[in-house]
Amino acid sequence: MLAITMLKGTKIAIIGLGKIGGALASSLVRNRIVSKENLLGTTGHRDSALEAAKRYGIKAVTDNVRAVADAQIVILAVKPQTMKRVLTEIKEAIREDQLVITLAAARTTRFIEEMLQKAIPVVRAMPNTPCLVNAGMTVLCPGRYATKEHLEIAREIFASVGLVAVIDNEELMDAVTALSGSGPAYAYIMIEALAEGGVKVGLPRSLSTMLAAQSLLGAAKMVLETGEHPAKLKDEVTTPAGVTIDGIMALEDGGIRVTLIKTVDRATEKSKELSQ
Ligand SMILES: NC(=O)c1ccc[n+]([C@@H]2O[C@H](COP(=O)([O-])OP(=O)(O)OC[C@H]3O[C@@H](n4cnc5c(N)ncnc54)[C@H](OP(=O)(O)O)[C@@H]3O)[C@@H](O)[C@H]2O)c1
């Protein structure tokens, strides 16, 4: 993890302390990137604010204007369909010396800038829920008024909870959303299905789930840490006339490759559709 220096003492407001906002809040506190006192979250309802405060151990309210007024960094983590309402609400309170980081799928930096009607630095981020266990993947993209420095601040925030990549072409954010934003869901299905396979051939379910999950985790680490092509790593496991090739044959028979390619393709189309 990066040594965090820029964020010390910085006040951050997380608008929308739900699954991803909450995961980010608790990770920032747990990793001592931001102190509890400097983090304020909001939700749409008083009950959920109380619950979020308890669950994530930070102060949570329902007053977005108050939260924004006090912060230097504003993280927008509400649902895409709630974004317009929230931006209208905070428009007056937001200042050009603040940094807005938006996590919403299918909401462009241009959309946010135009809604706020100010030259606000906006960085769009697409994280995923494994941020909760410091194994997140976040892709960042700068808006019109965001400088390299703003991008670095956003990078520091998300580098504390996983890997970070930066892209310039915002059009690719739909593909990013479909691949790494939604990716954990696809992986859970793979783990679940592999575990069912283990159960089918006699393994206890808990052991089977552990074997499946750790195998995916280990394979992912091999790809990231060796830098080798996945096909080469697969070949190394596949002994001629051995066990693995029979498993691979069943995978190919089920069309796993084309299924996964279509998965990302369809999800990208959906993200584009929602961006309209
Ligand atoms: N989940 C993911 O893996 C993931 C990954 C990357 C990006 N994202 C993006 O992150 C955003 C949030 O997703 P999520 O899955 O975390 O949704 P979520 O769990 O439903 O959280 C949404 C949060 O927004 C709050 N909220 C609703 N109306 C509000 C308002 N007017 N002011 C302040 N807060 C309000 C909700 O509070 P109440 O419960 O009181 O309504 C809730 O705490 C989405 O735009 C999504 O595209 C999600």
Count of CA atoms in the C-beta half-sphere (13 A) of 37 = 2
Q: At a CB cut-off of 8 Å and minimum separation 6, what does 109 contact?
A: 102, 122, 123, 124, 141, 142, 143, 144, 146, 170
Write out pLDDT tens, residues 115-129.
Answer: 999 999 999 999 999
**Residue 31, pLDDT score:** 86
**Residue 5, pLDDT score:** 52
Cross-strand pairs, 138: 164
- State what percent of residues in the chain have pLDDT above 70: 98
How many angstroms from the chain centroid is the CA of residue 149?
21
- Type of residue numbered 107: R
Rg (alpha carbons) of the chain, rounded to whole number = 21
- 3-state SS class at 28: helix
Write out pLDDT tens, residues 263-275.
Answer: 999 999 999 999 8
Write out pLDDT tens, residues 247-256.
Answer: 999 999 999 9
**Residue 32, pLDDT score:** 87
CA distances to 103, 108, 143 from 231, in Å: 33, 35, 36
Atom of ligand 1 nearest to the CA of 104: 45
Q: At a CB cut-off of 8 Å and minimum separation 6, what does 174 contact?
A: 106, 268, 271, 272, 275
**Residue 3, pLDDT score:** 39
Q: What domains appear along the chain, each with residue ranges and CATH number?
A: 12-175 (3.40.50.720), 183-275 (1.10.3730.10)
Write out pLDDT tens, residues 163-184.
Answer: 999 999 999 999 999 999 999 9
How far is it, in rounded angstroms, from Cα 39 to Cα 29? 8
Task: Find tokens 């393994």 and name the residue.
Answer: 203
- Where residue 199 falls among pLDDT bands split at 50, 70, 90? very high
**Cα 19 to averaged position of ligand 1 atoms, centre (Å):** 7
**Residue 100, pLDDT score:** 98
Closest CA to 94 of 124, 115, 123: 115
Nearest CA to ligand 1 atom 1: 20
**Cα 77 to averaged position of ligand 1 atoms, centre (Å):** 5
Q: What is the mean pLDDT of residues 38-57?
A: 95
- Where residue 2 falls among pLDDT bands split at 50, 70, 90? very low
Contact 127 CB / ligand 1 (< 6 Å): yes
C-beta atoms surrounding 191 within 10 Å: 20
Q: What is the mean pLDDT of residues 138-153?
A: 97
Q: Is the pLDDT of residue 6 over 80?
A: no
How far is it, in rounded angstroms, from Cα 178 to Cα 173? 8
**Residue 253, pLDDT score:** 98
**Residue 182, pLDDT score:** 97
**Cα 18 to averaged position of ligand 1 atoms, centre (Å):** 5
pTM of the prediction? 0.93
Q: Is the pLDDT of residue 8 over 90?
A: no
